[in-house]
C-alpha cells in the first residue's frame, strides 16, 4: 500500500503553492491603534474600556482590531474602489469591542466606510484632546435652568464641553440647579425659585466641595432676567468664574473668537430730586425709554441709561468674552460715577434688557455694604410695562 503520509521536506510544485495574504496586523500598528483609541471602543456612543473584563474587572485585552475596508474584497465594505494599498494601515483599522465589531460587519450597508472613518476620527480626536489636558484646566460646572414662558430650558452637556475647551469639567454633569418644575408665575413661586437657587449655590461653595478644590467655576444659565440677577448676587467674587452665552445664530454656547468690537456708554437722561435713589435703564438687547418706566419712578429719581455706543441695541450683540468684560468694566464705572455724583445711594432701581451672562454680572458686581440695594424690574407683556420683581439687599437678601 502506498504510504499516504507525505514527506514534509518534499517541495511542492510552484504551481500548487496557494497565494495567501497575511491577515495579522503588525504589532506596532496594533500598539498605535490602542494608544490612539485610549483603550476604548471607537464605535460612536460605545466607548467601552477594553483592557479589563466589564464585569469582573480582570485585566486583559478584550479589544478587536477591525478593518474599515475589509481584508478580503468579498468581505464587509471590501468592494470599495479605493482599497488602501496597505490593508493593515492604521487609517483602515479601528479598535472595537466584539459586539460592535460584529454589528458593523453584519450590517455593512448601514455602517459604511465613510461613517466608520467619522467614528474613528471623532473618537481619536477626543482622546487626544482629553489626554492633553492639565490639572490647571479643570473647572467646576454650574448650570441653572428654569421655564422661560411656557418652554422648559435645556442645556446639552456636549455643548458645555465644547464651550469649555481648552478647560474641561471636573465632574459630569457638575452642579445642576433645575427649576423647570417651578412655574414662576407669581410672587410665591418666585420666592420658591430664589430659595432653591440660594441652597444650590451655598452647597456648591461648601467647605471641601468641588469648587473649593478646583478654584474655578464655569456657569451656563437660562432663566428670567430678575432671577439671573439674584443668582449673580449669590456668587462669590473670590473664585475665578467664566460665564457663557447661548448664541442664537449657532445655537450653541461657544464664545466667538472674533467679531465687531462692542463699546458701552452711559449718561444721565433725567435729573431727580432724591439723591438717595436712582434708576438705571440697561438698553442692550432692546431699547428702553424713560417714558416706559412705571409711574412710581417719578421726578424724585435721577434716571440713567447704559447702552451700546455706535450701534442700536440688538439681542445678538454679545459675541465674545471681550464684549462681556467690556460690559463689566462699564457697569462698575457707572456705579462709581453715580456714587461720586450723588453721594450715598440707598436704592438703585434696575430696568434691564440684557443677555443672560450680563444679567448675572449685574448681581455679582454689586458689593455688599458699599453699593446700593438693587430693585429689579421685568417687562410684563400682558401689562405692557415694567413691574417690580425682587430686591437684592446690600447686606444680603430679602
Is residue 151 in some structural domain? yes
pTM for this model (two decimals): 0.68
> Are residues 285 and 369 part of one domain?
yes
> Are residues 333 and 306 part of one domain?
yes
Q: Per the structure block, which three cell numbers stand in for 373?
A: 440695594
Confidence check: pLDDT of 134 > 50: yes
> Are residues 387 and 268 part of one domain?
yes
Contacts of 156-164 spanning 24+ positions with Cβ under 8 A: 159/252, 159/253, 159/254, 160/218, 160/220, 160/253, 162/252, 162/253, 162/254, 163/220, 163/244, 163/252, 163/253, 163/254, 163/255, 164/139, 164/218
- What pLDDT is stored for residue 397 in this prediction? 45
* Cα gap 170→156, rounded to integer Å: 17
Render pLDDT for 145-194 as a digit per residue (tens, 0 to 9).
Answer: 998 766 667 899 999 999 998 888 988 888 999 998 888 878 888 999 99
> Are residues 155 and 41 part of one domain?
no
- Between the two ends of the chain, the Cα-to-Cα distance in Å is 109
Is residue 11 in some structural domain? no
Of 30, 228, 22, whose CA–CA distance to 143 is shortest? Answer: 228
> Are residues 148 and 122 part of one domain?
no
Judge contact between 99 and 107, C-beta under 8 A. Answer: no
Q: Which residues, at least 6 apart from 391, have a Cβ–Cβ distance to it below 8 Å? A: 373, 374, 375, 376, 398
- What pLDDT is stored for residue 318 in this prediction? 96
Task: Give me the chain's average pLDDT, please.
Answer: 89
> Are residues 292 and 198 part of one domain?
no
Is residue 56 in some structural domain? yes
> Are residues 142 and 114 part of one domain?
no
Render pLDDT for 40-50 as a digit per residue (tens, 0 to 9).
Answer: 999 999 999 99
Domains contained in the chain, number: 3
Render pLDDT for 297-353 as a digit per residue (tens, 0 to 9).
Answer: 999 999 999 999 999 999 999 999 999 999 999 999 999 999 999 999 999 999 999
Is residue 6 in some structural domain? no
Domain that holds residue 147: 135-243
Render pLDDT for 85-127 as a digit per residue (tens, 0 to 9).
Answer: 999 999 999 999 999 999 999 999 999 999 999 999 999 998 8
Amino acid at each position: 500500500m502506498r504510504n499516504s503520509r507525505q514527506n514534509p521536506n518534499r517541495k511542492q510544485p510552484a504551481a500548487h503553492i496557494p497565494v495567501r495574504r497575511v491577515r495579522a496586523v503588525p504589532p506596532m500598528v496594533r500598539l498605535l491603534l490602542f494608544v490612539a483609541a485610549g483603550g476604548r471602543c471607537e464605535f460612536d456612543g460605545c466607548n467601552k474600556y477594553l483592557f479589563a473584563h466589564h464585569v469582573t474587572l480582570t485585566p486583559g485585552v478584550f479589544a478587536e482590531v477591525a478593518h474599515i475596508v475589509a481584508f478580503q474584497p468579498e468581505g464587509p465594505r471590501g468592494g470599495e474602489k479605493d482599497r488602501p494599498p496597505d490593508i493593515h494601515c492604521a487609517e483602515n483599522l479601528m479598535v472595537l469591542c466584539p459586539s460592535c465589531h460584529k454589528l458593523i460587519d453584519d450590517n455593512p450597508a448601514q455602517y459604511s466606510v465613510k461613517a466608520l472613518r467619522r467614528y474613528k476620527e471623532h473618537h481619536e480626536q477626543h482622546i487626544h484632546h482629553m489626554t492633553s489636558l492639565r490639572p490647571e484646566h479643570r473647572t467646576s460646572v454650574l448650570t441653572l435652568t428654569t421655564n422661560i414662558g411656557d418652554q422648559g430650558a435645556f442645556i446639552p452637556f456636549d455643548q458645555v464641553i465644547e464651550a469649555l475647551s481648552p478647560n474641561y469639567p471636573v465632574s459630569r454633569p457638575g452642579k445642576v440647579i433645575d427649576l423647570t418644575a417651578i412655574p414662576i408665575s407669581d410672587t410665591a413661586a418666585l420666592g420658591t425659585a430664589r430659595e432653591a437657587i440660594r441652597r444650590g449655590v451655598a452647597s456648591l461653595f461648601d467647605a471641601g466641595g468641588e469648587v473649593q478644590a478646583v478654584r474655578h467655576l464655569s456657569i451656563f444659565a437660562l432663566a428670567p432676567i430678575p432671577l439671573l440677577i439674584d443668582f449673580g448676587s449669590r456668587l462669590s467674587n473670590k473664585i475665578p468664574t467664566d460665564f457663557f452665552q447661548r448664541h442664537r445664530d449657532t445655537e450653541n454656547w461657544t464664545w466667538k473668537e472674533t467679531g465687531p468690537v462692542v463699546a458701552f456708554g452711559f449718561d444721565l437722561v433725567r435729573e431727580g430730586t432724591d439723591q438717595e435713589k436712582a434708576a438705571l435703564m440697561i438698553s442692550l438687547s432692546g431699547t428702553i425709554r424713560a417714558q416706559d418706566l412705571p409711574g412710581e419712578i417719578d421726578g424724585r429719581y435721577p434716571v440713567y441709561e447704559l447702552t451700546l455706543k455706535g450701534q442700536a441695541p440688538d439681542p445678538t450683540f454679545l459675541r465674545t468674552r471681550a464684549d462681556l468684560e467690556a460690559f463689566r468694566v462699564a457697569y462698575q464705572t457707572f456705579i462709581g460715577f453715580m456714587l461720586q455724583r450723588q453721594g450715598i445711594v440707598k436704592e438703585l432701581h434696575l430696568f434691564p434688557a440684557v443677555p443672560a451672562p450680563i444679567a448675572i454680572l449685574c448681581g455679582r458686581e454689586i458689593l455688599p455694604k458699599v453699593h446700593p440695594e438693587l430693585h429689579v424690574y421685568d417687562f410684563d407683556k400682558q401689562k405692557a410695562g415694567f413691574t417690580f420683581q425682587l430686591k437684592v439687599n446690600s447686606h444680603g437678601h430679602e
